[in-house]
Amino acid sequence: MTMRFEDPAADFVLAVERVFGEHPRVLDGSRAVLVGDVKLQLEAGERELWLIETHGPLEHRLGMVEVHEDVEAALHEAKEKLRDRAA
């Protein structure tokens, strides 16, 4: 018997690199990464992608993107939210 499991977060760091075009700093296993001063964190069983602004030890949650099937699609949506916020 062959057992197989899937971990949606396994491709998270690589997907962040593809979408944001830079190598993120990995935090908390592979469930959270730091891109610039924004932490991207998978929560709720990898169904939520939180955008968290960091200033030293302080954090401010900017918003959340639902992860349906593809974490990369959620990252593109997160990138748009960050772009709209900066504009």
- The letter for the amino acid at 51 is L
**Selection from 8, 9, 49 nearest residue 29 by Cα:** 9
Judge whether 3 lies within some domain: no
Domain carrying residue 37: 9-86
Length of the chain: 87
Give the pLDDT confidence score for residue 17 in this predicted structure: 94
- Side chain identity at residue 59, one-letter code: E
Question: What pLDDT score was predicted for residue 50?
Answer: 95
Closest CA to 19 of 77, 84, 86: 77
Tell me the whole-structure pTM to 2 decimals: 0.82
Residue 42 CA to residue 10 CA, distance in Å, equals: 11
> What mean pLDDT, rounded, does the chain reach?
86
Q: What is the pLDDT of residues 14-36, one digit of tens each?
A: 999 999 999 999 887 778 999 98
pLDDT in tens, 45-85: 788 999 999 887 888 999 999 998 889 999 999 999 998 88
**Residue 13 placed within a domain:** yes
Domain count, the chain: 1
4 occurs within a structural domain: no
C-alpha distance across the termini of the chain, in Å: 54
